[in-house]
């Protein structure tokens, strides 16, 4: 009998014995459904749900939330608009799992959108934060923990000689944008269609009908003047970048080295190095937005993984260990433009918060342990291969991939090299996939255009369970 079948039998036995906690073990492929029995189907075992997947409490809380907050959420993608239906409301998280307010348990591949790389609520991180909290939750003054985390970042990230901490990735990118303009004395910025750098006015830009155009505001309330200096190129297309650089006056080329906000799109061979060469040639800075990829692709971030060093880097997510944080850093001569060392002003009341600093320090300590990134690569590559195989076997057009603890796939024939390619995906099918996987106890990002994340807490059993669920769902779409 296969391992997944054994886990289903075990889950059914435990459920019948009344041990709900154990019935929702990592080995159960249907952790979100209350299972009460098993049957043989096509030579393997599958669970029979005696009770329907129930989200009544989530529905009630979200209904109330819509009267209290715009759209019922504090960040738009959480509202499930891209996949249909209402969002589930979380109650708690631990390790590789999350629980909603109705008691359903999920294998979680969102991980708080990336920070939970060592697993949710890791005991060592919690203990360190609790001990720090006893000294106070915020100082608004220098603390030694800032030095400690700064040294870890500088030692790990090739481009960073000095670092400034902020409260979010968006704030880090806002500071970076002002910095590159201040340092170069130029105003134009080149970004890429589908790359997200936070909700600052200068970055909320969509591409026009052409491959590379002047940006137009992508949100009401953004004045056209705020985006007049933002140029948009096509990811993985060096010719589109050089065409814009030739116009002159470009301060920097800014990109996600691995795109995570159009789905998972890695750079093609030579693309990042080509950007490095072009920015050198046209006297512009190169900026890697590693808020998502930082310490997830590799301990030295994507720039270490690909061997291409930018001039400035933005960070977030992992370096805060689950607490609000951001950072931007780079060459010393550039960073010394930042106040109070230099004239470029940027500040923050809670920047360098001791709780976030400690959570980041402990998270990075854990990541430095032998085998961490080998584990991430092993479970993630197995997961995406299993999902793609399940899709192909069921006759769907699917393509995707992974690097270390980051992955993604598209309901598209592929290959996907850019946001334009990603837009050929079957979004309706993804919505059905997402809901069906949710009902089987697998929590995935609620958008075709978002990457997924694994953690050190994800086990082989979690991956096997997810692949088993994917096979069932793919065959029913």
Active site residues: 196, 289, 317
What's the token pair of residue 230? 């933002």
| Spatial distance between the Cα atoms of 15 and 82, rounded to a whole number of angstroms | 34
Does residue 362 have a cis peptide bond before it, meaning omega lies within 30 degrees of 0? no
59: Cβ–Cβ under 8 A, 6 or more apart, which residues? 86
Q: Are 437 and 477 in contact (CB under 8 A)?
A: no
Cα-to-chain-centroid distance, residue 218 = 22
| Distance separating alpha carbons of residues 298 and 378, to the nearest angstrom | 14
Q: Is 146 helix (H, G, I), strand (E, B) or coil?
A: helix
Smallest CA-to-CA distance from 15 within 99, 105, 120, 107 is with 105
Query: Which residue's structure tokens are 């096979």?
Result: 471
Residue with tokens 């715009």: 70
Residue 44 has a CB neighbour count (10 Å cut-off) of 13
> Would strands 452-453 and 442-443 be described as parallel, antiparallel, or unpaired?
unpaired
C-alpha 125/C-alpha 119 separation (Å) is 10
In total, the chain counts a number of residues equal to: 477
Phi, psi of 112 (to 5 degrees): 60, 30
Burial class of 377 by CB neighbour count within 10 A (0 to 12, 13 to 18, 19+): middle
């Amino acid at each position: 009998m296969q391992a997944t079948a054994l886990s289903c039998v075990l889950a059914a036995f435990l459920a019948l014995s009344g041990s709900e906690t154990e019935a929702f073990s990592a080995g159960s492929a249907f952790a979100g459904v209350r299972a009460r029995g098993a049957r043989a189907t096509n030579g393997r075992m599958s669970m029979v749900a005696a009770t329907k997947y129930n989200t009544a409490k989530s529905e009630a809380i979200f209904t109330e939330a819509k009267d209290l907050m715009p759209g019922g959420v504090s960040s738009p993608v959480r509202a499930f608009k891209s996949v249909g239906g209402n969002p589930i409301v979380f109650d708690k998280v631990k390790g590789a799992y999350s629980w909603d307010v109705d008691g359903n348990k999920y294998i979680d591949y969102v991980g708080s959108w990336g920070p939970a790389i060592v697993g949710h609520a890791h005991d060592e991180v919690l203990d360190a934060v609790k001990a720090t909290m006893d000294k106070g939750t915020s100082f608004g003054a220098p603390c030694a923990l800032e030095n400690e985390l700064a040294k870890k970042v500088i030692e790990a990230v090739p481009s960073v000689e000095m670092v400034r901490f902020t409260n979010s990735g968006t704030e880090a990118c806002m500071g970076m944008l002002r910095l590159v303009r201040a340092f170069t004395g130029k105003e134009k910025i080149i970004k890429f269609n589908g790359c997200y750098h936070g909700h600052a006015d200068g970055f909320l830009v969509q591409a026009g009908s052409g491959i590379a155009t002047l940006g137009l505001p992508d949100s009401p309330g953004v004045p056209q003047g705020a985006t007049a200096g933002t140029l948009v190129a096509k990811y993985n297309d060096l010719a589109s970048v050089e065409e814009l650089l030739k116009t002159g006056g470009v301060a920097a080329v800014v990109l996600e080295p691995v795109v995570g906000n159009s789905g998972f799109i890695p750079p093609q061979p030579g693309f990042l190095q080509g950007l490095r060469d072009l920015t050198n040639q046209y006297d512009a800075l190169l900026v890697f937005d590693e808020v998502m990829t930082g310490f997830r692709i590799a301990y030295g971030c994507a720039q270490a993984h690909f061997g291409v060093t930018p001039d400035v880097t933005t960070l977030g997510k992992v370096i805060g260990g689950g607490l609000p944080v951001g950072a931007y850093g780079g060459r010393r001569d550039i960073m010394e433009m930042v106040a109070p060392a230099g004239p470029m002003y940027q500040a923050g009341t809670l920047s360098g918060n001791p709780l976030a600093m400690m959570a980041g320090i402990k998270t990075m300590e854990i990541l430095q342990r032998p085998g961490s990134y080998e584990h991430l690569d092993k479970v993630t590559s197995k997961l995406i291969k299993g999902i793609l195989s399940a899709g192909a076997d069921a006759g769907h057009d699917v393509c995707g991939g992974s690097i270390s603890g980051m992955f993604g796939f598209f309901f598209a024939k592929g290959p996907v090299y850019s946001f334009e390619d990603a837009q050929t995906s079957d979004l309706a099918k993804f919505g059905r996939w997402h809901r069906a996987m949710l009902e089987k106890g697998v929590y995935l990002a609620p958008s075709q255009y978002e990457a997924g994340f694994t953690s050190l807490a994800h086990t082989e059993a979690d991956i096997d369970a997810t692949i088993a669920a994917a096979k069932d769902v793919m065959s029913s779409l």
